[in-house]
Chains A and B, each alone.
Chain A
Amino acid sequence: MIEVKGVNKSFGDLDVLKGINAVFEPGRVNLIIGQSGSGKSVLAKCIVGLHEVNTGEILYDGRNFTRMNRNERKEVRKEIGMLFQGSALFDSLTVEENVMFPLSMFTKMSKEEMRERANFCLDRVNLTNRNHLLPAECSGGMQKRIGIARAIAMNPKYLFCDEPNSGLDPRTSIVIDNLIKEITYEYNMTTIVITHDMNSVIEIGDHILFIYDGEKWWEGSKEEILKTDNPEINDFVYAAEFMKQLKGKLGS
């Protein structure tokens, strides 16, 4: 479980996060949604420690991450898997080497064991016989799947996905969404997905946090977000014509 308590973050005079409180429980997909520039990516980066918070606390299963020193944080980070918006695969390494990378850094596995684990993770994301390709030779959807395989290689307790569907076609987006959902349930991970894709909200949103202008504006399930009367949320959720029609049907 990840707890966020009263987190404030500013860059110079600009207050990006204003007293955010949230609890992300394991075994379900937690979504952080909001418009571009609302502060959702900054919140995620604060949670994983890529940005330092100004005030507030972040707790990983009760362990206060904000008060930890560099070495203590490194230990927590070994329990974190992260899928980046642009996949962030290492260009010079092959698909297999990318997945094996965290294993080679932090385990005492033999090369054969690491290869076995990498193949297992790649199989899990439905990527077989692509081990020797370079990331540049893979499609966007494949890169995301490799990113997920790398993120789960160390059996993480916490999984972060930063806009996992950006740049993907709707069909591939659903595949990636379902993969994230299946892996979360299978390994009982605390998963946090940052997105502004409404398809993802409807597809996998067990618990949704709506960020508006750096504040936690709303929190609930995917069923609740479709029925809420909150104008800011409605502006966001029903921005597309298709969603407006859906709302009409739900209303009737």
Chain B
Amino acid sequence: MKVIFNIGRYFIMLKYVFSRPEKFRIYKNRIFDEIEIIGINSIPIVALLSVFMGAVITLQTAANMDSPLLPVETVGYITRQSTILEFSPTIISLILAGKIGSNIASEVGTMRVTEQIDALEIMGVNSLGYLVLPKVVAGLITFPVIVILSMVLSILGGLLAAVQSGLCSQNDYIKGLRYYFYESDVTYGLIKPFFFAFIITTVASFYGYYTKGGALDVGRSSTQAVVYSSITILLTNYFLTQLILL
């Protein structure tokens, strides 16, 4: 019953999030602030993870290719496909669900328990619109950019690992990157972050906004935000894959 109640409440929340803002100028400034928090501040961790993720995919692929019938360029091909189709859009989003999701839930949750949200409501401000909409817009703007960055860095990380380990030459790796390249794969990889950005920002805001109690409950909301946004991302990923690729 509680699940149904929460789903209903989530959609009612979305209705207020997307109602007309009081003042566009204020919202515009808030969006820029959120772009910094959600997007720019996530770049270091995404860059680090992507480079090592690409490197490990390359090493694993090269180390497990026993058949002499498989050309060595396959390493570059598999690294590209894995990165573009799944690792960069999905794994990076799951990691950002932890980083950004907990941040949003604890920020909004703290505002709830310290009555800052009540203060907004008393002033006549649509608190959901004011707090959540800029996060959603900032997420939709920054996630695809972060995913593109991750794709590039992951492939470069793979190249570095291939050359450094001597398992594959630079030319072979680049040749593999060009094998059966379809633009639609990139399109598919870039559709997903829009959905995941929406899920992370709204689910985390939902758990933060409806926090009741004190500091312990803020922590609990933060955990719930990460768990449920991760589960929702995985389910959405499955359905999107089926919908777009098959």
Tell me the A residues contacting B by CB distance below 8 Å: 48-50, 73-75, 77-78, 80, 82, 84-86, 88-91, 101-102, 104-106, 154, 160
Contacts and interface: CB of A to CB of B under 8 A. Distances in A.
Nearest to A147: B119
A85 B115 contact: yes
B116 to A, nearest CB: 5
Interface in B33-88: none
Contact of B114 (A86, A105, A154): A86
Interface in B102-120: 110, 114-116, 118-119
Contact of A78 (B26, B123, B126): B123
B7 interface: no
B123 A84 contact: no
B125 interface: yes
Contacts of B23: 104-105
A104 B26 contact: yes
B115 A86 contact: yes
B22 interface: yes
Interface residues of B, number: 15
Contacts of B126: 74
Contact of B121 (A50, A101, A104, A105): A50
Interface of B: 22-23, 26, 110, 114-116, 118-119, 121-126
Contacts of A84: 115, 118-119
Nearest to B125: A105
A105 B26 contact: yes
Contact of A90 (B26, B116, B118): B116
Contact of B116 (A78, A88, A154): A88
A147 to B, nearest CB: 9
Contacts, number: 49
B114 A78 contact: no
A88 B119 contact: yes
B124 A88 contact: no
Interface centre among A80, A89, A105, A160 (most CB of B within 10 A): A105
Contacts of B122: 48, 50, 77, 80, 82, 160
B124 A78 contact: yes
Given A78-B123, A88-B114, 4 more contacts: A77-B123, A84-B119, A90-B116, A154-B123
Contacts of B121: 49-50, 77
Contacts of B124: 73-75, 77-78, 105-106
A104 B123 CA distance: 12
Contact of B22 (A48, A73, A105, A154): A105
A50 B120 CA distance: 11
A106 B116 contact: no
A73 B122 CA distance: 10
Contact of A82 (B22, B26, B110, B119): B119
- Identify the 7 closest CB pairs spanning chains A and B, nearest first: A77-B124, A88-B115, A88-B119, A74-B124, A84-B115, A82-B122, A78-B124
Interface centre among B115, B121, B123, B125 (most CB of A within 10 A): B123
Nearest to A150: B119
23 contacts: A49-B121, A50-B121, A74-B124, A74-B126, A77-B121, A77-B123, A78-B123, A84-B115, A84-B118, A84-B119, A86-B115, A88-B115, A88-B118, A89-B116, A90-B116, A91-B116, A101-B123, A104-B23, A105-B26, A105-B124, A105-B125, A106-B22, A106-B124
